[in-house]
Structure 1
């Protein structure tokens, strides 16, 4: 726990080390201020920005109330506008109950995706993703798309297709281009770019996200400390054992927020073995001795699937991260055998139990320096054998330390 606390403490410090990038903002007095803006590679539309006059000056904050516009190089641009927002939460599984709804007006910072004669914008929060557009100096209008329930049937309302067909006029466009147009960033962006090209209009195409998605492959080798708790009949004990581990982590860095979030798939092979001898005394005054020898063998491939958050140390090549997820188990060889022997009782019996795992939660933390990776993972509880009787169960807890090299 001390190690985890130390890593989290360092990561909190490292988070502040992200460099500021050259940009500008326009304040409420229409004054343009060139500065260095902290680029979060925003997914949700921001409500404020952090900036410095120069790289050595103090960090300052300015909120949406005082901003009319801001941008970072040619990577991103946001403009403040009052827009119409519908209540449909199209980033969730929640369906709107009808085709009709009541809208509200809200002042937000819209992300500019394409800027030219025809402009495409995006607004996003935790539950909603909405696109807007304007032609030349016309007002900004919503592109409406959502799904709703009618008579317990899923319906789709997509008037954005007719809206764009009526307003993006170009000889090369056919009605089919709009009928198949999906309510997705790339589809919408491409048709706005094509419209500007068709009308000989200069345009700027801003990156939706500064970051790019990336796959990392990291072979690993390490050490696993196992704590086994067994209860069979009246015999209860805990046993600790260690085992080597071998794995291959597949990480996909998500293309937003400076690649701070990633999805991980981390299949790992290990074999756990131990033998334990126990003396049990039964009968009146415990006069009879039974020798019990337990043999445990468990080989499996653990497949943790989860999400990772990266904290950068001065630059994106050096980072500390935390993981969370769930580990599925693929047992390969698994058996628990108890041999009971007592000459006084003429006992010589063997009981064998096949094991199967129900998986486990997984938490972890690690550090990556360039291509070298070191990591700590904890699997709080894996149930390897369970019966309705509380007198027969076998649980496994593991702590893994591994190093890897990203190729």
Structure 2
């Protein structure tokens, strides 16, 4: 019962720190504009979430001190903030699925007219726009302010488990973008933002040169500041670990080893996702950890005798947490974070538990999960409190159970 209460306290502490981090994190609003459906333009401060999906609503305020308002994008004709510009247009879109179980048998696109919020990628003589929502990603274009059309790409089923590809977008580019684009570039172009941005930018530059005038060629995908997308961090720390073992047939073997403090060291590799203002990341952190403890126990030896023995454990392993992290920005230098990871454990061959009468148990690998909350300063120094769920590593034995518990204090220094 006491152990359960202690575990609940640890979880409550994590939850409390998460709530505090969420409450303390400040939302950044940047200069932007909104045009409503009546064509009225208003300069406002917009929360720039660097949207991965085309947003269904935005948050904005009229000034730094005014209240935050939310507006459904159905009520907005256009808005812009930072390098993001969205316009709401009536277009024909093919929503054919790319999932193998739902692929259409028709080669031709199955268009439906919808009013969508499209993101501008390139604005010039030829405009490039995109629509992204969950597993749907479509690109659109127009030349000289003509009708907006979808660049067509579609997988379709031709039977017997075979898939064919309609790459009509290559014919569309060849027909409508005739300046500065080679046939080889079109043939090699994938249905991707990177390739399309390159092609449309080259066309607009060529068109400006041919016309002898400054034709607009705005690239909304260009970053004004260099992104830090990959971090390597040295992460030393201290583990507080304990171990309990039990045997269903021989309860006298049940042992609760004491909590011990042990050094741990890891190297974390973190990838920052290029959306939502660098708030999400994935990480992997190979870590060395160890635990060593001994316990003197007394038990009934039969014939009214009490025996004493010393039981000990030596355990070391390489843990590999693989997880996701979310940041809560306080300002340009400070941020809280929470993370969740699945921990794969590789125990050393020398890990074992010694019992009385020269009996011993070999420790095998056991996996678990980790929950953490921490703080990072100046993208360089960090500290994290991490809770690891109980781990079992005596599963090779039928009647034995084990519960290895750890909480950690982890410091970090980001090399780059």
TM, length-normalised to structure 1: 0.88
Equivalent pair of 2:280/2:324 in contact (CA under 8 Å): yes
Listed as ranges, the matches of 1:243-254 within 5 Å are 243-254=262-273
Residue number among 119, 138, 147 corresponding to 1:111 in the alignment: 119
1:325 is the counterpart of 2:329:
no
How far apart are residue 310 of structure 1 and its match? 0.6
Deviations 1:326-382 (A, max 9, x none): 112232354324343xxxxxxxx3123322213211221111122321111122132
**Deviation larger for 116-125 or 325-334:** 325-334
Residue number among 14, 19, 27 corresponding to 2:28 in the alignment: 19
Structure 1 distance, partners of 2:163, 2:403, is 45
The count of corresponding residues between Structure 1 and Structure 2 is: 391
Is the partner of 1:176 in helix, strand or coil? helix
Structure 1 distance, partners of 2:39, 2:328, is 36
1:199 is the counterpart of 2:207:
yes
Structure 2 distance, partners of 1:236, 1:4, is 30
Listed as ranges, the matches of 1:165-314 within 5 Å are 165-170=174-179, 172-200=180-208, 201-207=215-221, 212-232=227-247, 233-234=249-250, 235-239=253-257, 240-283=259-302, 287-313=304-330
Structure 1 distance, partners of 2:390, 2:106, is 47
Structure 2 distance, partners of 1:291, 1:95, is 68
Q: Which runs of 5+ in 2 are unaligned?
A: 1-10, 209-214
Listed as ranges, the matches of 1:89-104 within 5 Å are 89-90=97-98, 96-99=103-106, 102-104=110-112
How far apart are residue 319 of structure 1 and its match? 0.9
Structure 2 distance, partners of 1:41, 1:83, is 24
Is the partner of 1:183 in helix, strand or coil? coil
**Deviation larger for 372-381 or 253-262:** 372-381
**Deviation larger for 186-195 or 374-383:** 374-383
Is the partner of 1:350 in helix, strand or coil? coil
Query: What residue number does 2:4 align with?
Result: none
When residues 157 and 14 of structure 1 are mapped into structure 2, their CA distance, relative to the original with a 3 A threshold, is: farther
Query: What residue number does 2:69 align with?
Result: 60
Write 1 or 2 for the structure with the bigger share of helix: 2
Equivalent pair of 2:104/2:155 in contact (CA under 8 Å): no
TM, length-normalised to structure 2: 0.87
Is the partner of 2:16 in helix, strand or coil? helix
Structure 1 distance, partners of 2:367, 2:177, is 53
Equivalent pair of 2:364/2:395 in contact (CA under 8 Å): no
Structure 2 distance, partners of 1:323, 1:242, is 23
Structure 2 distance, partners of 1:143, 1:208, is 22
When residues 208 and 142 of structure 1 are mapped into structure 2, their CA distance, relative to the original with a 3 A threshold, is: farther
Structure 1 distance, partners of 2:39, 2:384, is 50
When residues 362 and 5 of structure 1 are mapped into structure 2, their CA distance, relative to the original with a 3 A threshold, is: closer
Residue number among 392, 396, 400 corresponding to 1:387 in the alignment: 396
Structure 2 distance, partners of 1:41, 1:223, is 37
When residues 354 and 98 of structure 1 are mapped into structure 2, their CA distance, relative to the original with a 3 A threshold, is: farther
Query: What residue number does 1:76 align with?
Result: 84
Equivalent pair of 1:7/1:320 in contact (CA under 8 Å): no
Cα RMSD for the two superposed structures: 2.3
Structure 1 distance, partners of 2:366, 2:105, is 41
Is the partner of 1:41 in helix, strand or coil? coil
Query: What residue number does 2:55 align with?
Result: 46
Write 1 or 2 for the structure with the bigger share of strand: 1
**Deviation larger for 270-279 or 228-237:** 228-237
How far apart are residue 297 of structure 1 and its match? 0.9
Structure 2 distance, partners of 1:162, 1:395, is 63
Structure 2 distance, partners of 1:72, 1:2, is 39
